[in-house]
Amino acid sequence: MIENSIVYRNFRGKYEYLPISKAQGSEIWDKDGKRYIDFTSAWNVTNLGWNNLEVNEAVIQQAKKNVQGLLWGSDPIQEEYAKALTSALPKSLDACVKETGGTESVETAIKIARTYTGRKKIIGFKNSYHGQLFASVALGYSPNSVEKLSPLVPEIIQIDFPHEDVGEEGFDKFISDLENLLSKEDIAAVVTEPGIITGWGSTVVAYPGFLKKVKELTQKYGTLLIVDEVGTGFSRTGKLFGIEHEDVVPDMIVLAKGISNGASAIGTVVGQSVIFEKAFSDAILVSTFGWTPIACAAALKTLQIHRRDKVWEMAKKKGEYILEKLKPFVGKAITSLRGKGMEIGIRFKNPETCSEVRKKSFENGLHVVVGGNDNMQIMPPLTISQKLLDKGLETLIESIRK
């Protein structure tokens, strides 16, 4: 759809067109002044609330110093952020690649994996989301849905994601099938989120122990494990990073979205320097606008707030509260609830009910989104006040009851 000369996606009518005039905390206002409680965080971006004052002030102060970096050099704020970020991650993840967002970071991680291992094949999971360019699209999109874009990047293999209801027998089969693929020793990397699918709105949770087992197998066969934390990072799932749920250390972790709380475009691949050094020349690890000083200032302050305030604890507590409030409706309009922290999926009995609940909620001042046909994804800012959270849930529940 095109509005005011701007091209944007209307998600086939799943969302209402919402021209934002201002936003603060967990509230947004449209151009007519109508106020909405936000349950989207711009899809896991504004985890600390829209226009967080501390983050915005950090941007303002950095703008007085310097706003652009060099391909062949560094700015002090870039160095400070790299040190802070690697200090917040497992020790072996000791180097950062400067990128502008999630898609670019995923594509870069694939380049690194191929150049480092000398292998070409990459494994992704069906119906997952990793970005909008040719390799990231190939990782998870249905081949039929992107037929007109083809050919995509070759030698990317999609396999089924082992959801939590697959059972022990089903999970054992998944592991057996994955090991069979990896044992040929021609797979450069496995790309996955850390046990939950945040893109496309499915909110599918993996069978317990998924990430740990995948790590064991990739390590066994010389395959790299790339964990995409674009949606799960920065406290969203009840841990600062999703890999902490199973204490798994991947070879590379991809970060974006909540990394700067929406104050500036930035992404990164964080990994082992020994891998990056070997891949540097062939993978061409540079980006003109990756890690601008302004973006780094925003990202540094964002990380400092998460760690200072233990925001992941807020996410865990409020996520459990949301689930408790919605449980009474399971078996009625809702068929299931799932998620981690404040990344929650509400699966309705059919797409029509899901769409109707979203429309009613929107009309009554609650901004929610539908990713999958029958699945509504609940992603409020992690810092939302109890009062606004209750008001938003009341609006949602009233829409479910009607």
Which pLDDT band holds residue 241 (cuts at 50, 70, 90)? very high
State the average pLDDT over residues 274-288: 93
| Residue 12 scores a pLDDT above 60 | no
| Greatest pairwise CA separation for the chain in angstroms | 60
pTM to 2 decimal places:
0.95
Q: Which residues pair with 99 in a beta bridge?
A: 267
| Residue 15 scores a pLDDT above 70 | no
Predicted pLDDT at 147: 86
Q: Could you tell me which residues come within 8 angstroms of residue 259 by beta carbon, excluding any fewer than 6 positions away? A: 233, 234, 266, 267, 268, 299, 302
Which of 6-20, 99-113, 260-274 shows the lowest per-residue confidence on average (mean pLDDT)? 6-20
| Residue 3 scores a pLDDT above 80 | no
Of the CA atoms within 13 Å of residue 332, those in its CB half-sphere come to: 8
Where does the chain hold its CATH 3.90.1150.10 domain(s)?
Answer: 2-51+310-401
Among all chains, which residue has been given the structure tokens 């970005």? 131
Report the alpha-carbon distance of residue 188 to residue 204 in Å, rounded: 25
Of the CA atoms within 13 Å of residue 352, those in its CB half-sphere come to: 0
Predicted pLDDT at 268: 98
* Predicted confidence (pLDDT) per residue in 334-361, tens digit: 999 999 999 999 999 999 999 999 999 9
| Residue 293 scores a pLDDT above 70 | yes
Predicted pLDDT at 17: 75
Where does the chain hold its CATH 3.40.640.10 domain(s)?
Answer: 54-309
In this structure, which amino acid lies at residue 226?
Answer: I
DSSP for 375-393? Answer: EEEE---TT--HHHHHHHH
Predicted pLDDT at 251: 98
* Predicted confidence (pLDDT) per residue in 32-41, tens digit: 999 999 999 9
- Report, at the CATH architecture level, how domain 54-309 is classified: 3-Layer(aba) Sandwich (3.40)
**Packed helices 293-309 and 76-87: angle between N→C axes, nearest 10 degrees:** 30
State the average pLDDT over residues 248-263: 98
**Long-range contacts made by residues 83-87, C-beta under 8 angstroms, separation at least 24?**
84/300, 84/303, 84/304, 85/255, 85/268, 85/270, 85/299, 85/303, 86/270
CATH T-level assignment (fold) for domain 2-51+310-401: Aspartate Aminotransferase, domain 1 (3.90.1150)
Pairing of strands 334-340, 343-348: antiparallel
